[in-house]
Amino acid sequence: MNMVTDMGTLDTREPLLDVSGVGKRFGGVQALSEVGLRIQAGQVHGLIGPNGAGKTTFFNTITGLVPSDSGRFALAGRAYKPTAVHKVAEAGIARTFQNIRLFADMSALDNVRVGRHVRTRVGWWQAVLRTKAFVHEEMLIERDARALLDFVGLGDKALQTARTLSYGDQRRLEIARALATEPKLLALDEPAAGMNATEKLALRELIERIRQDGRAVLLIEHDVKLVMGLCDHVTVLDQGRVIASGTPAEVQRDPAVIAAYLGTGVHA
């Protein structure tokens, strides 16, 4: 089985991620109200909106980092309660972070190997006794990790310490690590932030390749060109609410979206 590309059998008529009615209040601020979206398998879904619209907060609610006050969540047709972060990852949603959260002192290869943890099973006593099962699984883990590094274009930097990688490489490493968990949905939080034009092109190609493997990608991004060129579907948030949802072309022409970005009158 090629771990990188095998998605198993999925009913592609059902949305892969179906979230609706998400609400979250922080103290006096209603950060999210009635937010929801649907993503199909193999789709790249963009989540855009002005700063402070609630995009990362939404990410945090679907991945369990922040408990939501309300909402219905379903992944691959099965409802899930995003209460435990690690269980969400186990169920099949993997994410990257806006501020890059790598395991800085570990090598690139080790970062990705940790990503394999959730899909591997050999216990510590077998590690201590160095059983055949242990040796075999370690070999598989290394093989899969290296394949992923190659997939994102970091194959030759496998042994480099993560903190010494360039910014763009660090972002790609984070994606490789997330892919290692065999997610059904890959949630990327501003993966192109701080990248130059060349790096963005490489990122776009990478996301295309990920999409071709049948995974769904949810993308928070500020780079309009990137979003429009890459996404099949875009949801626009402003001040915690969904103000538009549709194809990039539709959303681009939506007057509410234009108003939110350019501002008409006083904007809080």
Partner 1 sequence: MDIFIQQLINGLVLGSMYALVALGYTMVYGIINLINFAHGEVLMVGALVSWTVVTALGDTGWPGWVLLSLSLVAAVLVCMALNVAIEKLAYRPLRNAPRLAPLITAMGMSLLLQTLAMILWKPDYKPYPILLPDEPYEFMGATINLVQILILGVTALTLAGLMALIHGTSLGRAMRATAENPKVAQLMGVRPDRVISATFMIGAALAALAGVMWAANYGSVQHTMGFLPGLKAFTAAVFGGIGNLGGAVVGGVLLGVIEALGAGYIGELTGDVLGSNYQDIFAFTVLILVLTLRPQGLLGERVADRA
Partner 2 sequence: MRALMQSSSGMPRLRLFIGCALALAVLPLALQPLGEAWVRILDTALLYILLALGLNIVVGFAGLLDLGYIAFYAVGAYLFALLASPHLTDNLPALAAMFPHGLHLPLWGAIPLAAVAAGLFGMLLGAPTLKLRGDYLAIVTLGFGEIIRVFMNNLDAPINITNGPKGINSIDPIHFGRVSLGEPWYLPAWLPAGLEGVALPPVTLHYYLFLLIVVGAVVLTQRLHDSRLGRAWVAIREDEIAAKAMGLNTRNLKLLAFGLGAMFGGVSGVLFASFQGFVSPESFSLQESVLVVAMVVLGGLGHIPGVVLGAFLLAALPEVLRQVAGPLQAMTDGRLDAAILRQLLIALAMIGIMLVRPRGLWPSPRHEDQLMPDVADAAKAGEGAR
By the criterion CB under 8 A, which residues form the site for partner 1? 26, 56, 59-60, 65-66, 97-98, 101, 189
Binder of residue 59, out of partner 1, partner 2, none (CB less than 5 to 8 A by kind) = partner 1
Q: How far is the CB of 130 from partner 1 (least distance, A)?
A: 31
Indicate the pairing of strand 93-95 with strand 78-79: unpaired
Among 2, 9, 79, 128, which residue sits at the site for partner 2 (rule: CB under 8 A)?
128
What is the x/- site pattern for partner 2, positions 131-150, by CB under 8 A?
Answer: ---x--xx--x---------
Nearer to partner 1, 26 or 167 (CB): 26
Alpha-carbon distance 167 to 92, whole Å?
Answer: 26
Chain-centroid distance of CA 114 in Å reads 17
Q: How many CB atoms lie within 10 A of CB 164?
A: 12
Residues 6+ apart with CB under 8 A from 225: none
Q: Distance (Å, rounded) from C-alpha 114 to C-alpha 178?
A: 10
- Which of 178, 185, 186, 206 binds partner 2 (CB under 8 A)? It is 178
Q: From the CB of 235, what's the least distance to partner 2, in Å?
A: 22
The encoded tokens of residue 2 equal 């090629």
x/- map, 19-58, partner 2, by CB under 8 A: ----------------------------------------
For residues 218 and 186, the answer to whether their CB atoms sit within 8 Å is yes
Closer of 10 and 106 to partner 2 (Cβ): 106
Q: Which of residues 180-209 bind partner 2 (CB under 8 A)?
A: 180-181
Closer Cβ to partner 1, 148 or 173, answer by number: 173
Contact between 113 and partner 2 (CB under 8 A)?
A: yes
Other Cβ atoms within 10 Å of 72 Cβ, number = 14
User: What is the smallest separation between the CB atom of 55 and partner 1, expressed in angstroms?
Assistant: 12
Neighbours of 128 (CB within 10 A): 9
Judged by CB, which is closer to partner 1: 56, or 235? 56
Report d(CA 72, CA 65) in Å as an integer. 16
Selected from 81, 130, 136, 209, the binder of partner 2 by CB under 8 A is 130
Footprint on this chain of partner 2 (rule: CB under 8 A):
63, 65, 85-86, 89-90, 94-95, 97, 100-107, 110, 113-120, 122-124, 127-128, 130, 134, 137-138, 141, 159-161, 163-167, 170, 177-178, 180-181
